[in-house]
Amino acid sequence: MEKAPPANLDWAKDVPCRNITIHGFCKYEGQGCSFNHDRGTSKPKADAPSTPTSATVGSINGALDDLEIDSRQTKSAGDKKKFNPAASSVFMPTGSAALPKPSANKFSALSPKLSNIPSFVPSVGQDGDHEQSSTNLKQFNVMESSTFQPTSATPFGGPSPTLQNPYLHHDTPVPPPQINPYTAPPESLNPYAGMGGSAGQDFMYPPHPQSAFPLQYHLYAPTPPPHLQIPLKGNQQNAETLFIPNKLREALLHKNEATLKTLGPSNLPNVVGVYYDLVPLDTALEKTTRSYNHTSSIYKAFSNTNGRAYALRRIEGVKISKDKSLSTIHQWIKLKNSNIGQVVDAFTSRSFGDNSLIVVYDYYPDSKTLYENHFRSNISKPEPITTEDLWTYMCQISAAIAAAHSKNLPVRSLSLQKVILTSKNRIRLSDCGVLDILNYESELTPDQTKDLMAQDITMFGKLIFQLASIRLPAEMRARPEIQLVQHLDQTDDFKTALNYLLDSTNAGRSIFEFQKLICTRLFKELDKEQLSADYYEAQLTREIENARLFRLVSKINFIIDRAEYEHNPMWQQSGSRYPVKLFHEFVFHQVDEKGKPVLDLSHVLRTLNKLDAGIDEKILLVSKDEQSCLIVSYKEIKDLIEKSFRDLTKD
């Protein structure tokens, strides 16, 4: 079989390669890709014919207000001049220098009344003398004029690159800029804060549809203000007591909402490894290299493997010289601790256009760093720190450090920006294992590991001191921390524990000895955690059978108002299944004496619970026309529903 002759791809040499536009590079450049890989501004073809019209001239030079369409513009394309930017840097429409002056008698031969018609003046024209010749008009210079480049904020605070837009000089008005939540005042770095809204939208893409209002959680009773709350007796309930507490429900819904948020069209890669649908989590608009001496950022993404959400820490411009450096993350993956953000994976990627190190962690939605929660907040005032909070943080961080040190793993990264608050008084260490990869040279010796562990204890002490010294005068903070411990408004046992952490001269310091020092507080924190577990278990116990009523309503809706039963005598007014239809109207179609609908949730829950139990209590069912009345029990209705549903499954 003869091979097909090679295709003539000369037409593609002036077409910009889409890989350059989308990814910034083309991996097939020089290996068969026939498109143009010039990363500069793409130039138009030199042999493209120029077809100027009055609309084009008016969009390029606003001063040409009175130009009229000449008969010369109807010439064929072969008689027109060609636009060649290489030969001339000044773009002049064909025949613009010899355009005739507006003449009132141009069409006088057609009608004697046309001379009285005033000349047309565009409404967008500029004020001034419209009779001036075109030679005095300001010429448009393609090479000197600056091209309008629309920008949109990126998660890193800089302008995002935009695509070449052929309509930038068209008369169509530019749409107003979209609201961008990333242009808010910068906050501190937040590794796991749930971010919403759309960012980094390109000019050529439509805005991503999003609701401008928070979600409305229907069928839940809002908590009344304190002066309207009515005390209930032991045998009384209201709509609020039928569900989980409002604060707990709203907290869980906010976390779920933060997990499911997505980002509109942006310049982020679609897929990084096995992770897709990236959403930036950084709330700071400016890039920083404070933590790792490399620019870093963090994203939320979903895994193609199991569909769960994860947090991706990206370190930009990292050159991993030894593959063994990535193997150090395996020890962190094996480490399981409730106060350490679980490490999932680490790999390198070029999806962002550079050599990036990606470290994957479990995602904790709607979280804040300790710095955000207690030092800076754009939404509300920072939460004050009590002595109980300090003890809680001290006990939980010490438990995390002890778990890492027991595996000979120094934490290294320990600061207010690297400790996250995932829920009320529930903290975790984040970004563990990153410095192990970045600073890897060879296997750590026992002495090096011991020194790094001692540095962890010192950083731990400085973190607790920063939280405890918020109220100290600014002029006192220039002194060493260990000298200021006595000036803190805290208890003596707290000062003793803090002095132990900050005393770098103590060569025998260890996190395990420190836990012995605060063992009394550790048992108190353990008691608080057990009480919290009992509370959540009680709430789960209340919701364990919450699907019963849903199953019952589903059965009722499966069997009523079916088209195949429309002419079935069993479902007519004299049929045996007619009470089921009347009961459905009794539960959901209640009206008052004026005929207005009654939306009584307690009535629905009460009747459905009685139906599910199948009690012998009898009720009166009345049809809409009030011509049929039936007295039946809940048990009889339940039997009819079960029998009808079995017949439906048989069919």
- The per-residue pLDDT for range 485-544, each reduced to its tens digit, is 888 889 999 999 999 999 988 888 999 999 999 999 999 999 999 999 999 999 998 888
Regarding whether 558 and 500 lie in a shared domain, the answer is no
pLDDT surpassing 90 at residue 288: no
Closest CA to 411 of 466, 332, 336, 507: 332
How much of the chain, in percent, has pLDDT values that exceed 90? Answer: 35
Indicate if the pLDDT at residue 281 is higher than 70. Answer: yes
The verdict on residue 349 lying in a domain is yes
pLDDT of residue 470: 85
**Residue 35 Cα distances to 15, 16, 17, 350, 585, angstroms:** 6, 6, 5, 22, 68
- Residue 287 clears pLDDT 60, i.e. is over it: yes
Q: Is 637 helix (H, G, I), strand (E, B) or coil?
A: helix
| Residues 564, 437 within the same domain | no
Q: Hey, is 337 helix, strand or coil?
A: coil
Residue 581 lies inside a defined structural domain of this protein: yes
Strand 426-429 vs strand 356-362: parallel, antiparallel, or unpaired?
A: unpaired
Take residue 360 and report the two structure tokens written for it.
Answer: 């994957």
Q: What are 356's strand-pairing partners?
A: 349
Q: Is pLDDT above 50 for 557?
A: yes
| 620 part of a folded domain | yes
DSSP class per residue in 65-129: -S----GGGGS-GGGSPBP-TTT-SB---TTGGGPPPP-TTTTTTT-TTGGGSPPP--TTPPSS-
Mean of pLDDT values over 230-235: 82
pLDDT band at residue 222, thresholds of 50, 70 and 90?
A: low
- The closest of 310, 428, 307, 422 to 366, measured between CA atoms, is 422
Looking at the structure of the chain, the number of domains it has is 3
User: What is the average pLDDT value for the chain, to the nearest integer?
Assistant: 75
Select the more confidently predicted residue: 196 or 465. 465
Residue 335 has pLDDT above 80, yes or no: yes
**Domain contains 333:** yes
What value does the mean pLDDT take over residues 613-636?
A: 91
Average pLDDT over residues 64-80: 42
Q: What is the CATH number of the domain that holds 590?
A: 1.10.287.3700
The arithmetic mean of pLDDT across residues 18-31, rounded, is 82
Q: How would residue 477 be classed by pLDDT, with cut points 50, 70 and 90?
A: confident
* pLDDT recorded at residue 495: 92
Residue 220 has a pLDDT of 60
Q: Are residues 568 and 490 both part of a single domain?
A: no
pLDDT reported for residue 75 = 42
Determine the pLDDT at residue 76. Answer: 42
DSSP per-residue letters across 363-392: --TT-EEHHHHHT--SSSPPPP--HHHHHH
CA–CA distance, 642 with 612 (Å, rounded to integer): 11
Kindly state whether residues 285 and 391 are assigned to the same domain.
yes
Share of the chain above pLDDT 70, in %: 68
pLDDT higher than threshold 50 for residue 427: yes
- Evaluate whether residue 7 is within a structural domain: yes
**How confident is residue 128, by pLDDT bands cut at 50, 70 and 90?**
very low
Q: Are residues 298 and 405 in the same domain?
A: yes
* Rounded distance between C-alpha atoms, residue 82 and residue 92, angstroms: 11
Answer positive or negative: Cα dihedral of 178, 184, 190, 193.
negative
At 611, the amino acid letter reads L
Q: 171-199: per-residue pLDDT in tens? A: 434 444 444 444 334 444 444 444 433 33
Same-domain pairing of 554 and 504: no
Q: Judge if 389 and 485 occupy the same domain.
A: yes
Task: Point out the least confidently predicted range of 107-121, 406-420, 549-563.
Answer: 107-121
Q: Which tokens belong to 271?
A: 């897929």
Q: Are 300 and 281 in contact (CB under 8 A)?
A: yes
Question: Is residue 389 pLDDT above 70, yes or no?
Answer: yes
Terminal Cα distance for the chain, rounded: 59
Amino acid at 542: R
Indicate the annotated binding residues for ATP: 313, 362-369, 417-418
In this structure, what CATH number is given to the domain that contains residue 318?
1.10.510.10
Q: Does 492 fall in a domain?
A: yes
User: How far lies 329's CA from each of 181, 232, 293, 324, in Å?
Assistant: 35, 56, 19, 10
Mean pLDDT of 206-218: 50
Q: How far is 228 from 383, CA to CA, in rounded Å?
A: 28
The lowest-confidence range among 211-215, 570-574, 605-609 is 211-215
> In terms of Cα–Cα distance, which of 635, 634, 645 is closest to 586?
634
End of a domain among 476, 509, 542? 509
Q: What's the rounded Cα separation, in Å, for the pair 588 and 586?
A: 6
Domain that holds residue 376: 256-509
pLDDT band at 322 (very low <50, low <70, confident <90, very high): low
- Encode 45-69: b = buried (16+ Cβ within 10 Å), e = exposed: eeeeebebeeeebbebbebbbbbee
pLDDT at 601: 84
| 109, pLDDT greater than 60 | no
Q: What value does the mean pLDDT take over residues 58-65? A: 42
Inform me whether the pLDDT recorded for 126 exceeds 70: no
Quote the pLDDT of residue 419: 95
Residue 61 has pLDDT above 50, yes or no: no
Q: Which helix (H) or strand (E) holds 143?
A: none
pLDDT band at 116 (very low <50, low <70, confident <90, very high): low
Q: Is residue 394 part of a domain?
A: yes
Predicted pLDDT at 382: 74
Taking residues 9-25, what's their average pLDDT? 81
Residue 71 clears pLDDT 70, i.e. is over it: no
pLDDT at position 392 is 95
**Last residue within a domain, chosen from 509, 539, 563:** 509
Closest CA to 33 of 18, 51, 55, 48: 18
Q: Are residues 293 and 374 in the same domain?
A: yes
- Indicate the pLDDT class of residue 217, thresholds 50, 70 and 90: low
Same domain for 454 and 601: no
Select the more confidently predicted residue: 319 or 575.
319
259 Cβ partners below 8 Å, 6+ apart?
194, 300, 309, 363, 365
Q: Binding site, residues? A: 313, 362-369, 417-418
Top pLDDT among 97 and 29 is at 29
Given 484, 509, 534, which residue is the final one in a domain? 509
Instruction: Report the pLDDT value the prediction gives residue 530, as an integer from 0 to 100.
Output: 94
Q: Is-contact 165 203, C-beta < 8 A?
A: yes
How much is the pLDDT for 103? 46
Q: What residue type is assigned to position 384 of the chain?
A: P
Residues 469 and 557 in one domain: no
- Sequence-ordered list of residues with C-beta below 8 angstroms from that of 292, at least 6 positions apart, any chain: 315, 434, 435, 438
Yes or no: say if 409 and 331 are a contact pair by the CB < 8 Å rule: yes
- What is the identity of the amino acid at 238? N
Contact, 155 vs 105, CB < 8 A? no
Give a yes or no: residue 139 inside a domain.
no
Distances (CA, A) of 648 to 21, 550, 579, 611, 636: 58, 18, 17, 20, 18
**pLDDT for the residue 361:** 96
Burial of 236 (C-beta count, 10 Å sphere; 0-12/13-18/19+) = exposed
Average pLDDT value for residue range 41-66? 43
Residues shown for the chain: 651
Tell me, yes or no, whether 483 and 587 share the same domain.
no
Write down the pLDDT at residue 577. Answer: 79
Q: Find the mean pLDDT for residues 348-373.
A: 92
How many Å apart are CA 149 and CA 644, to the nearest integer?
67
Same domain, 503 and 581: no
Q: Is pLDDT above 60 for 574?
A: yes
